[in-house]
């Protein structure tokens, strides 16, 4: 919320109020079937107490945002975000459905029509509400392992059967220091017995203080051949107003140093050659590279400088748009691993079918993609940002096995 002006927040509150007015209009119509006056009055009063309470909370939070402790600030914003979504979306769907029914020749004065409208209204309002609550309180930390097998023509024989775990977009500040939750993910990852663990960016939301004591959790991650990471757009502190450039730089240095504490090799526009009994592969890591307004810190040419003669290459690049712009057809990189999109934390995953509104912004937004023997895998993220829930887009741990 801090990045929005007070005028924008007021417009948001006005939109909420307009939907509330329409909702209340139809609510009075369909509650005619309730014969107890007290119960009807209780529903109406409760409706407006909640409606005005939500709007008031949004405005007060915006006004007092700067004076709130940073750790508590994120908790309040995300909680209010979840409350707003779980209120606004069901009401909007309710209004649309009831209005559509009304204009398809249902007449409210007819008793049968009122019962139909009451049933449909309750269903259209409560189903989205319950779905959103499920996404907030159940799906948010239901970590899911996606097992993918990839055949790469340049894969050295020594790496057939190589097991790679990819995680991405932890956004540790969103966990609010609930270390036990991520402990479960760490145990799931270690149980997979990976050869490599790759982390593809967005360790924090903005600030290094979010990392307090998380090293004791993430240091437990175990990989036989190594652990590597790159930075995401949120790791640079670009979305926060700093009192000085020195403070921003100090914050950035502390985030980079954290990787040493958890024994991950942070790749900053560089590559590392792995030699496993004579079989060589290159692990390449670029800093964040994205389409504007995201800044482009990444330098792929620099990263490839010393590994041009290594046939099998894996690239870690936070933003999947980098793959289509600079990788496919322009390099011989076999596999690119990305994150960034979160799958919008909302969508549909049914067997091999997947859909999310984020597809209209990112061509490659979740899962495996292939173009002439060059592969991209986009991880759906292990943490969350903004809306404190996941609807049909569970947090992901990716296990990739390589086949010849």
**pLDDT reading at 68 higher than 90:** no
- Alpha carbons 186 and 198: distance in angstroms, whole number: 13
How high is the pLDDT of residue 399? Answer: 98
- The Cβ-side half-sphere exposure at 319, using a 13 Å CA radius, reads 25
Give 99-133 pLDDT, tens digit per residue. 887 777 555 445 556 677 777 777 888 889 999 99
**What average pLDDT does this structure show over 239-245?**
92
pLDDT higher for 66 or 360? 360
Q: Where are the domains of the chain?
A: 6-139, 144-403
**pLDDT reading at 247 higher than 70:** yes
How high is the pLDDT of residue 2? Answer: 45
The residues, ordered by sequence, that sit 6+ positions from 384 with a Cβ below 8 Å of its Cβ are: 140, 171, 174, 342, 345, 390, 395
Q: Using an 8 Å Cβ cutoff, are 320 and 365 in contact? A: yes
Percent of the chain with pLDDT over 70: 97
Beta strands in 259-366 (DSSP E): 265-266, 270-276, 279-285, 313-316, 335-338, 348-350, 353-355
Quickly list H helices, 328-393.
none
**pLDDT reading at 13 higher than 80:** yes
pTM: 0.91
- Alpha carbons 339 and 327: distance in angstroms, whole number: 16
pLDDT band at 272 (very low <50, low <70, confident <90, very high): very high
Give 20-57 pLDDT, tens digit per residue. 999 999 898 888 888 899 999 999 999 999 999 999 99
Give 302-342 pLDDT, tens digit per residue. 999 999 999 999 999 999 999 999 999 999 999 999 999 99
pLDDT higher for 49 or 7? 49
- Alpha carbons 307 and 309: distance in angstroms, whole number: 5
Q: Which CATH fold topology does 144-403 show?
A: Purple Acid Phosphatase; chain A, domain 2 (3.60.21)
How high is the pLDDT of residue 43? Answer: 92
How high is the pLDDT of residue 170? Answer: 98
* Least confident stretch, 171-185, 341-355, 380-394: 341-355
Alpha carbon of 56 to those of 16, 61, 70, 77, 190: distances in Å? 11, 8, 21, 14, 46
């Amino acid at each position: 919320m801090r990045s929005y002006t007070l005028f924008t927040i007021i417009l948001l509150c006005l939109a909420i109020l307009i939907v509330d007015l329409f909702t209340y209009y139809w609510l009075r119509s369909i509650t005619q079937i309730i014969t107890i006056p007290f119960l009807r009055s209780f529903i109406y009063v409760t409706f407006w107490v909640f409606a005005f309470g939500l709007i008031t909370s949004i405005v007060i939070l915006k006004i007092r945002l700067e004076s709130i402790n940073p750790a508590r600030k994120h908790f309040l914003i995300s909680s209010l975000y979840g409350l707003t979504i779980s209120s606004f979306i069901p009401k909007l769907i309710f209004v649309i459905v009831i209005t559509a029914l009304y204009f398809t020749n249902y007449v409210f004065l007819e008793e049968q029509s009122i019962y139909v409208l009451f049933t449909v209204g309750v269903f259209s309002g409560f189903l989205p509400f319950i779905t959103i609550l499920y996404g907030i309180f159940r799906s948010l930390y239901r970590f899911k392992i996606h097992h993918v097998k990839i055949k790469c023509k340049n894969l050295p024989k020594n790496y057939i059967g190589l097991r790679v775990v990819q995680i991405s977009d932890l956004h540790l500040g969103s966990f609010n220091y609930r270390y036990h939750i991520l402990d479960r993910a760490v145990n799931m990852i270690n149980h997979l017995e990976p050869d490599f663990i790759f982390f593809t960016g967005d360790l924090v939301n903005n600030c290094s203080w979010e990392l307090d004591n998380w090293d004791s959790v993430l240091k437990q991650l175990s990989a036989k051949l190594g652990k590597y990471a790159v930075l995401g757009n949120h790791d640079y502190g670009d979305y926060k107003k700093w009192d000085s450039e020195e403070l921003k730089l100090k914050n950035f240095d502390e985030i980079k140093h954290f990787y040493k504490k958890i024994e991950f090799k942070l790749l900053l526009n560089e590559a590392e050659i792995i030699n496993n009994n004579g079989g060589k592969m290159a692990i390449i890591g670029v800093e964040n590279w994205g389409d504007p307004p995201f800044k482009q810190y990444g330098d792929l040419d620099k990263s490839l400088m010393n590994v041009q003669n290594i046939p099998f290459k894996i690239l870690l690049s936070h933003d999947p748009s980098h793959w289509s712009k600079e990788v496919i057809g322009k390099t011989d990189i076999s596999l690119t691993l990305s994150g960034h999109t979160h799958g919008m934390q909302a969508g549909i995953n049914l067997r091999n079918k997947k859909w999310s509104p984020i597809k209209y912004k990112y061509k490659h937004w979740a899962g495996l993609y292939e173009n002439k023997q060059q592969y991209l895998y986009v991880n759906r993220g292990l943490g969350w940002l903004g809306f404190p829930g996941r609807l049909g887009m569970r947090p992901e741990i990716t296990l990739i096995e390589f086949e010849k």
